[in-house]
Chain A
Amino acid sequence: MLEVITFLISFITTLIFTRYLIRVLKQKGSVVEDYFKPNKPKIPRPGGIAIVIGISIAELTLFILTSNTLVLALLLSVIIAFIIGYIDDKKVMSGYYKPLALLIAALPIILLNAYDYNLDFPIVGSVKIPLLYIPLIFIIMSTFGNTTNSIDVFNGLVSAFMIIVTIPIIIGLIINDKYELLPIAMPLVGSSIAFFVYHKYPSKIFPGDSGALTLGIAYASLAIISELEIIAVIALLPAITNSFFFLSTVKRIVEHRVIKSKPTILLDDYRIAASKDPNAPVTLVRLIVAKKPLYEYQIVNRILSLAVFSSILAIITLLI
């Protein structure tokens, strides 16, 4: 029953606040160009405020009802991630800012002891790593947050992606009889679905770094609290692959906006094509359009099909 309540609170709150934000951000002139559309319409940003309010109110209600410190750990991590993202939305920071700043988001999980140092590898068993698990929490938080942020490049992508990759976690909780953790997981789903209503193609609002980092850290915290870290990594493989391709070609941590040679180019008919420049970074999108140029919505559908595929692999891993 609690899972239904937290889902509805996060869904309704995010839906109402996103609608309100679209109007307020437009009035304040907090808008950015939608680069891949004719006439480049101005889209309000950051919508992350609505996402963090939706998740926070649901988790806070759950904490008041249950006094569960796991809920508090996730809530604090999400708020820290939002603040880090919001600073980046308002002021352009260096490439190292987000990976390093997101390490702070791991502190609530560690200080409130919201983890178990047994790392579960489905199929093969688990391994106790008491000394290594704390550094691993920092790595998981920073990696999940940044990889989620790295796929926030097209209309509706990051919100739809989060809905898809959270499904294996929900199934994992049910299979492992951890029903008590379902109410903690549902606000991520509720908030992502509500935001997707306005973020889907053609977007009426963008989440910004604050929104993408909030979703990524909520997912990372959930993976650690649920002891489903490996399942979460498998589901997140398309986003991890994207970051991996980028880092392996650029060979340094840097913001996309400062890369001189872009991985893709926009054609006159608004299709997106792969760059012919051999020095351009390799990304998931560049590989998807390598053989033929595609429209934005076609690329989004292809990335989401990869998310469905990796989530199926994660579910297979749970079931074997």
Chain B
Amino acid sequence: MIFLFIYITILWILILLGGFILVNIIAKIELKDIYLESLLKGGIAISMSILWIFIMVKIKDIYMRTIK
């Protein structure tokens, strides 16, 4: 159970961190071509989501190895 509480807390921190990066860094990117700008911002956001998922999978896998 402690693992699940910690896991949810890490997810919460990652959501807030992701929001901070989106609002303060990615949202401020400005390009002349609005569609290219949207594509770039969307691409960075999706890449970040994939990285977050990778982190969460790794944490879960490490925990699963400890309980086997």
Contact = CB atoms under 8 A, between A and B. Distances in A.
A284 interface: yes
Given A121-B20, A127-B27, A278-B68, A238 B8 contact: yes
Given A241-B7, A288-B4, A230 B60 contact: no
A124 B15 CA distance: 11
B15 A230 contact: yes
A124 B16 contact: yes
A63 interface: no
A90 interface: no
B11 A237 contact: yes
B16 A287 contact: no
A234 interface: yes
Interface in B1-37: 1, 3-5, 7-9, 11-12, 15-16, 19-20, 22-24, 26-27
Contacts of B57: 248
| B-side interface mostly | helix
A287 B4 contact: yes
Contact of B9 (A121, A245, A302, A313): A313
29 contacts: A121-B16, A121-B19, A121-B23, A123-B16, A123-B19, A124-B20, A125-B23, A127-B26, A128-B27, A131-B42, A237-B8, A237-B11, A238-B8, A240-B11, A241-B4, A241-B8, A245-B60, A248-B56, A248-B57, A248-B60, A282-B64, A284-B4, A287-B63, A288-B1, A290-B67, A305-B1, A306-B5, A309-B5, A313-B8
Interface of B: 1, 3-5, 7-9, 11-12, 15-16, 19-20, 22-24, 26-27, 38, 41-42, 45, 53, 56-57, 60, 63-64, 67-68
Interface of A: 121-129, 131-132, 230, 233-234, 237-238, 240-241, 244-245, 248, 278, 282, 284, 287-288, 290-291, 302, 305-306, 309-310, 313, 317
